Amino acid sequence: MKKNSKAAIVEAAITLFNINGFNGTSTRDIANKANVNVANISYHFQNKHGLLEYCFTTYYEAYLNEIENGFLYLHEGATLCLKKITENILNYQSKNIHLTRFILREMSIDSQVVREIMSTYLLKERFYFKKVFEEGMARKEFRSFSINYMIIQLKGLLTMPFLNTHYITEVLHVFPYERYFTEKYVKEIYNWIDGVIRNESSERVPTLVK
Amino acid sequence: MKKNSKAAIVEAAITLFNINGFNGTSTRDIANKANVNVANISYHFQNKHGLLEYCFTTYYEAYLNEIENGFLYLHEGATLCLKKITENILNYQSKNIHLTRFILREMSIDSQVVREIMSTYLLKERFYFKKVFEEGMARKEFRSFSINYMIIQLKGLLTMPFLNTHYITEVLHVFPYERYFTEKYVKEIYNWIDGVIRNESSERVPTLVK
């Protein structure tokens, strides 16, 4: 039963954090929603901050895993590799849509946890993106561009619909909870990769060489 | 002095909201930081929620104004118009960098204020983007694409560096507070417009017609 209560606590916490924010949620609220004792939360996570840290690290461990799985395709070409990575990220975020929204919002705050996450996980994320971009430029698959500014664009595109689910539902009538959303959005990112990142002549280069 | 204390309250509130979140900030905290009485806050804004609403409406009134100023260029071409609008938005966000960060984070929460802002200001914003996109497609300046999905991309690109100022500073070493940032980022968005939105043959079309 121990494991179930842990999962129930995490699920209740994510729901409440998304509604009332981290500061607006008490350990007691979480315990009530998860149908457990406050002592149970202390046992698993010490306190609310421990719970927050747990959410962050489990999220970013799995997130980096998705990037690493895509990164394995680098020898088959930088474009293919970047597409794999973005597809993996979008699928992962889509499968964890509530947690993703909460994490993305928390990441915009300047806190101790956020700084730690940045200096471990997001630096690694940057490392992979940079490698792919550099490889793509070296092979002339990609145009020459500023890597950091391109990461800003890429991360903006990857996160927007998951952070702003209400906006895209209410204003744009696009429903991120529906299955076809991710499929369609993956294609949008592919178009961005082809239109902004890829060298227009990159298709012809391998043919000429062969 | 009335006007000064109002401005001081707003400034103090934005700073505290950015550090501690809206729920983590009390009216007393704001009064202390702004060096005014709590009664002063009540006088101008009734309560914390009134203050929040004031921030939102003044922000989005001016924001929409920037879009409308860009929209006036539509008769000179959809590409030019879209570039004017995005440049205006980026400059506006850059001039109000702290408030922008707070507003963008709050907008990801499902609250009464947010719903009201969406149904007034963000529906109007969508109206203008849609008009520009439709005009661009009608004139074959733009490719044919899904307008709502393109608004997701555009808004993702416009907001990312302003919401995630810590990330881009700490991880990417890009400094959104520096003046050249906006100049450079405007060019990035222009590249996106040229690579993703514009019809590749659109330059040639007017020449052939003439």
Kindly state whether residue A79 falls inside one of the protein's structural domains. Answer: yes
B127 contacts on A by Cβ (under 8 Å): none
Contact A149 B196 (CB under 8 A): no
Does residue A201 surpass a pLDDT of 90?
A: no
Residue A191 lies inside a defined structural domain of this protein: yes
Considering the domain architecture, whether residues A189 and A128 belong to the same structural domain is answered as: yes
CB contact under 8 A, B107 and A164: yes
Q: What is the pLDDT along chain B (210 residues), one digit of tens a residue?
A: 455 789 999 999 999 988 888 888 999 999 999 999 999 999 999 999 999 999 999 999 999 999 999 999 999 999 999 999 999 999 999 999 999 999 999 998 888 889 999 999 999 999 999 999 999 999 999 999 999 999 999 999 999 999 999 999 999 999 998 889 999 999 999 999 999 999 977 654 443 443
- Is the same domain home to A25 and A66? no
Tokens matching residue B37:
């009485």
Domain count, chain B: 2
The yes-or-no verdict on residue A205 having pLDDT over 80 is: no
| Distance in Å, alpha carbon of A170 to nearest chain B alpha carbon | 8
- Residues of A whose CB is below 8 A from B151: 172
Q: Please give, rounded to a whole number of angstroms, the shortest distance from the CA of A125 to a CA of chain B.
A: 10
**Three-state DSSP class for B108?**
coil
Q: Do B6 and B109 fall within a single domain?
A: no
User: Could you tell me if B27 and B95 lie in one domain?
Assistant: no
Minimum distance, in Å, between the CA of residue B110 and any CA atom of chain A: 7
Q: What is the pLDDT of residue A202?
A: 65
Give the CATH number for residue A29: 1.10.10.60
Question: In this complex, do A155 and B160 lie within 8 Å of one another by their Cβ atoms?
Answer: yes
Report if residue A116 sits inside a domain.
yes
A1–chain B nearest CA distance, Å: 33
Closest CB to B153: pick one of A104, A157, A184.
Answer: A157
pLDDT at position B1 = 45
Same domain (yes/no): B90, B193: yes
**Is B205 a domain residue?**
no
Mind listing the pLDDT tens digit for each residue in A29-66?
999 999 999 999 999 999 999 999 999 999 999 999 99
Is B21 within a domain?
Answer: yes
Same domain, yes or no: A35 and A91: no
B58 with B106, same domain: the answer is yes
Q: What is the CATH number of the domain that holds A80?
A: 1.10.357.10
* B87/B40 same-domain check: no
Domain that holds residue A13: 1-46
- Considering the entire predicted model, what is its pTM? 0.91
Alpha carbons B190 and B179: distance in angstroms, whole number: 18
First to last CA, chain A: 61
Task: Report, in angstroms and rounded to the nearest whole number, the Rg of chain A calculated over CA atoms.
Answer: 20
Q: Quick one: B71 and B27 in the same domain? A: no
Tell me: do B88 and B188 sit in the same domain.
Answer: yes
The pLDDT of residue B205 is 43
ipTM field: 0.90
Closest-approach residue (CA) in chain B for A164? B108
> pLDDT tens across A164-173, in order?
999 999 999 9
A22 φ, ψ to 5°?
Answer: -65, -45
Residues 88-127 of B with CB under 8 A from A: 101, 104-105, 107-110, 114-115, 118-119, 122-123, 126
